[in-house]
Structure 1
Amino acid sequence: MSAPGQFPYDASIHPTGYTTKPWTIRQLAGLGDPQDTNARFRYLLDQGETGLSLAFDLPTQMGLDPDAGLADGEVGRSGVSIATVDDLAAVFDGIPLDGVSVSMTINATAPVLLAMWIVVAEESGVDPAALRGTLQNEMLKEHLARNAYIFDLDHSFRFSLDVIEHCIQHLPKVNPISISGGHAREAGADRPLEIALGIADAEQYLTGMLERGYTADEVAPHFSFIYGAHLELLAEAAKFRAARRLYARRMAERFHAQNPRSQRMRIQVNTFGSALAATEPLNNIARTTVQAIAAVLGGVQSLHVCGFDEALQTPGRLSARVGLRVQQILLKETDLAHHVDPLGGSAVIESLVDEIEHEAAAWLEKIAERGGLMACLRTGWLEAEIENMAYAYDGLKVGIIDAERSEAELRLAHDQHSSGVIPGRRRPFTRQHCHDQLDVLRDTAGTGANILPALIDAARARASLGQMCTAITEGIGQEHRLAAHVS
């Protein structure tokens, strides 16, 4: 087991752990319309949140404008609805974009939202190079586990690389991708496969950037990772140590990365929603606290704690505050952050780390034997493995102590939103005519050039998200996965 801050970084990526650099408290938010989300962000910042995390509704994730027929019933339901750059500007109204880190949970339309974010910064007087934060932009896990994709595998991968390339060149403080193993875990994968898939995804993106002429040390420092935490506290804490160790070794040995920042796995953790129960939702506070402790003992860099009502709905105002308070209590009222490596030297932890790392490495070998990650995604082998695990797994014993739903608690969970926004309804907006910019975007998509410059121009001209996604699909000669939906 290494010393904190020393290769292979299993103990910690920083030599002083949390004693000098606490984890970022980043509660996910995104409700109904932009104004309501802005109110929630302001509230969380006032309550002590240290980083913003923005969730988008399904139509925004899938390239649909909120007035599209296929968006009906989903607008604003699972996050904020964004149609144009003015919507995103409203989300950040009064919030200094050069003074707060922003994480965007967006994948298929990550290039579009990045373009809008850049324009919002420009028009608010902020140099885009000063933007700080993270884009999820992780299309490999979408094709593997979540299936919220618009374009085929090859084009999805290409556009993710476009985002990475643009951020490396122009946005030095933005992590252009948050590589995920956690979504596969939620779909049924076990702990070692969760780690392996995160690392396999990272290596595939890195290989793609190497083919574009970049070096490992130019690209890998910009990677961040997203995993989840379940209720097996010690095993989950050990998982993060195993992931860091295995990643560091592979980066040094397989990709010859020399920069220590290329070898360090920076981890954002979301407490897993599958560990929450819809019955007696207040008990979920205990569950998310256990998950958060596992993440903190595992030495992660950023943490989101689910709301106690999240098995039922988008978190309300009260549950969002409670999730925030859980993190603040762990940081300020316990001694978890007083020790650099509180689990160092534990025989139990060392044994778990060795076991998890060995099994994860075995999965990576199996993926390599089958031609690599892209080949495995095309054949469906990995999806089948995850499905088999999901069916074979007995599941967490979530909710076994909860007798029945408490009507008072369910009313409490339901009645805490900060406004009267009713999610689901189609939202009208004014669509601008941006034919010239959309023509350029269509042509750029067809040539194979990086699409970000054309997207930024289209966003500046107030092209809608749906218009831009349609132009891209036309440019690459595909039909939109959800069919044509905007003019």
Structure 2
Amino acid sequence: MAGVPGQFPYDAGIHPTGYTSRLWTMRQLAGLQSATSTNERFKYLLDMGETGLSLAFDLPTQLGLDPDAPLADGEVGGTGVSIADVDDLGAVFAGIPLDQVSVSFTINATAPMLLAMWIVVAEEQGVDPAELRGTLQNEMLKEFLARKAFIYDLPTSVRYALDVIEYCVRELPRVNPVSVSGGHAREAGADAALEVACALGSVDEYLRGMTERGYSAQEVAARFSFIFGTDMELLKEAAKLRVARRRYAERMRDRWGATDPRAMKLRTQVNTFGSALAYQEPLNNIVRATVQAIAAVLGGTQSLHVCSFDEAVQTPGPLGARIALRTQQIIAEETDLARYVDPLGGSLVIEQLVEELGAEVDEWLRRIDDRGGMAECIRTGWLEGEIDELAYQDPGPTVGVRHTAPSDSERRLLLAERHTALGSRRDVKRLPWGPELDRLRADAAAGRNVMPALIEAVRARATIGQLCEAMRPSAGQGTENPRTAE
């Protein structure tokens, strides 16, 4: 039976008034090669009515490589903004008061470094870091499971993710320090039930780590956010979010002893699925993204990113980004979806889907628990194998899709607004290795929380490559500094 909005187990929504009093946050992902072009895109989207910023980074930044590192060649600015040091991030937010806008950072392996830079940029804007609002993805379990953009081994990577969570719980009351993801496993091939199970299983790993540090599960979980996606089965995807909320609330109460509603309410960002897009007949992607966006709204998301029609081949151009944002605004303002607190409540179809999906989620969670939890399932490769098997069962987009190269007209449409990526390496001015990096290296080697030392090194203008090198598990061994040993 459907629940009541705002009441445990929150399957009908975490707020009693739904969208009737407050819409979801419209947060379009952006990150364009250079800091200057990204700043321009952010201001463009804000002028168009976006209500939250979401920042994407290029692969070198995600992997802790300075843009002049040999391994960065050809990738600088290719999938998002290139950030070498705090001045680059400062340029991204030039003229954008950080105490007045919520920012989501799509960053994982280098989340500690980017958090330190965000804090220093705020300080240099005259903003108290405690006033920062937003979310760090900081989700290393799904990186090892699905995306593979990691720098260190799994235990070290999770340890640094926990450092970020701990620092935010202590110092940054308005920042969500982790966005627990099921959506990335889904993009890799998982089905809807396994998508939910991956997220809930990961919650247990992060909470175990934080309770071992002396924090209560309730205190930490109140700061969690989530990432799910929506695909083309509109009603099933809406039902999936109801299942996720119900199972999370029940597990927080029954497994972790939570009594605070904030620790039992699953707050989620939904991204429409890029894997559902096709480069052939690209304007069809507008329809696909709209269907997925409606599923997210019917499912009760708190924040939404809608894929651009050109996203199958490139970082969204201005036209694609505007249409994606306008899609959200049309749903919010020109339809009646936001006029009802729980428009799907009482639907027999939805209740049937919730029951079926819930049983599948429970079975996946049982199998994960039986194998020692998410980290162990990732370490052994079992879960990745299950996802690979499921991936072969998904046909992907079918309408208008041909097994041929795009036509000249399709290429022109897709590439009409494409910016030229920086691509090649750009020179970086490095901080001479000194006490700030020595302290960071010592704290990393000793197992202390690295965030205070990171912030100190970022203030001194250490580059992301230097920061990552100082934090390597082997960096504290021997007598030579990594930089002077070159």
TM range (shorter): over 0.9
Amino acid at match of 1:228: G
Aligned length: 481
Partner residue, 2:363: 362
Within 5 Å, give how 1:418-433 maps onto structure 2: 421-433=420-432
Cα distance, 1:397 vs. partner?
3.5
Distance in 2 of aligned mates of 1:395 and 1:477: 48
Q: Any idea what the Cα deviations from partners look like across 1:313-364, whole Å, max 9, x if unmatched? A: 1100110000000000000111110000000000000000111111111111
SS state of the match for residue 313, structure 1? coil
For residue 17 of structure 1, give the secondary structure of its aligned residue in structure 2.
coil
Question: Could you tell me how far 1:485 is from its partner in structure 2?
Answer: 13
Once residues 356 and 307 of structure 2 are traced to their aligned partners in structure 1, the CA distance between those partners, rounded to angstroms, is 29
Contact 1:41 1:52 in 2 (8 A): yes
Q: Map of 1:234-245 to 2, 5 A cutoff?
A: 234-245=235-246
Contact 2:277 2:397 in 1 (8 A): no
Q: Cα offset for 1:376?
A: 1.3
Cα distance in 1 for residues equivalent to 2:336 and 2:324: 19
Looking at structure 2, the residues matched to 398 and 206 of structure 1 have their Cα atoms a distance apart, in angstroms, of: 41
Give the equivalent residue in structure 2 for 1:108: 109
How big is the shift at 1:411? 1.5
Q: In the aligned structure 1, how far is the partner of 2:398 from the partner of 2:484?
A: 40
Equivalence for 2:73: 72
Structure 1, residues 49-106: CA drift from partner, whole Å, max 9, x if none?
Answer: 0000000000000000000110001100000000000000000000010000000000
1:485 and 1:288 map into 2 onto residues whose CA distance is 51
Partner of 1:396: 396
Q: Residues 272-326 of structure 1, C-alpha deviation per residue, up to 9 Å, x if partnerless?
A: 0010000111110000000000000000000000110000111001100000000
Partner Cα distance (1:93, 1:415) in 2: 28
User: 1:442 is matched by which residue type in structure 2?
Assistant: R
- What CA distance in whole angstroms lies between the structure 2 residues aligned with 1:408 and 1:42? 31
Q: 1:60 maps to which residue?
A: 61
Report the counterpart of residue 35 of structure 2 in structure 1.
34
The question of 1:453 aligning with 2:452 is answered yes
1:312-461 matches, cutoff 5 A: 312-391=313-392, 393-400=393-400, 405-417=406-418, 421-461=420-460
Q: CA deviation at 1:402?
A: 6.6
Deviations 1:405-448 (A, max 9, x none): 3533432321224xx54332212222221421111100000000
Partners in 1 of 2:483 and 2:309 — Cα distance?
38
Amino acid at match of 1:118: I
The alpha-carbon deviation at position 399 of structure 1 amounts to 3.9
Distance of 1:401 and 1:432 partners within structure 2: 51
Which residue in the other structure is 1:466 paired with? 465
Deviations 1:349-387 (CA, angstroms, capped at 9, x unpaired): 000011111111111111111112222122111111111
Task: Output aligned runs, 1:80-479, within 5 Å.
Answer: 80-391=81-392, 393-400=393-400, 405-417=406-418, 421-473=420-472
Q: What is the identity, as a one-letter code, of the residue corresponding to 2:440?
A: L
SS state of the match for residue 19, structure 2? helix
Name the CA distance, whole Å, in 2 between partners of 1:84 and 1:234.
44
Give the C-alpha shift of residue 451 in structure 1: 0.2
Alignment partner of 2:222: what SS? Answer: helix
Letter in structure 2 aligned against 1:52? L
CA RMSD in angstroms, aligned pairs only: 1.8
Report if the CA contact (8 A) 2:133-2:174 is conserved. yes
Tell me how far apart the structure 2 counterparts of residues 423 and 89 of structure 1 sit (CA, whole Å). 19
Q: Is the 8 A contact 1:280 1:406 kept in 2?
A: no
Query: Partners of 1:35 and 1:177 in 2: how far apart?
Result: 27
Distance in 1 separating the partners of 2:460 and 2:397 = 52
Query: Residue 313 of structure 2 aligns to a residue in which SS?
Result: coil
* Structure 1 spans left out of the alignment, 5+ residues: none
Q: Check conservation: 2:280, 2:410, Cα contact below 8 A.
A: no
Mapped to 2, the partners of 1:82 and 1:261 lie a distance apart of: 34
Q: Which runs of 4+ in 1 moved over 2 A?
A: 396-410, 420-423, 474-479, 483-487
In 2, the alpha carbon distance for the partners of 1:57 and 1:486 equals 28
1:166 alignment partner, SS class: helix
SS in 2 for 1:309: coil
Q: Would the aligned equivalents of 1:64 and 1:485 in 2 still touch at CA under 8 Å?
A: no
Distance (whole Å) between structure 2 residues aligned to residue 286 and residue 485 of structure 1: 55
**Aligned partners of 1:403, 1:312: CA distance in 2, in Å?**
16
Q: C-alpha displacement at 1:202, in angstroms? A: 1.1
The one-letter code of the counterpart of 1:422 is: A
Q: Which amino acid aligns with 2:357?
A: I
In 1, the alpha carbon distance for the partners of 2:484 and 2:268 equals 37
Amino acid in the other structure paired with 2:409: A
| AA partner of residue 235 (structure 1) | K
Q: Do the aligned partners of 1:279 and 1:403 also contact (CA within 8 Å) in 2?
A: no
Q: Distance in 2 between matches of 1:395 and 1:148?
A: 26
Looking at structure 1, the residues matched to 462 and 125 of structure 2 have their Cα atoms a distance apart, in angstroms, of 19
Aligned match of 1:6: 7
Cα deviations by residue, 1:144-195 (Å, 9 ceiling, x for unpaired):
1111100101000100000000000000000000000011111111110000
Tell me the distance in 2 between the aligned counterparts of 1:221 and 1:467: 33
Query: What's the TM-score, normalizing by structure 1?
Result: 0.96
Q: Measured at CA, do residues 43 and 445 of structure 1 come closer, stay the same or move farther in structure 2, by a change above 3 Å?
A: same
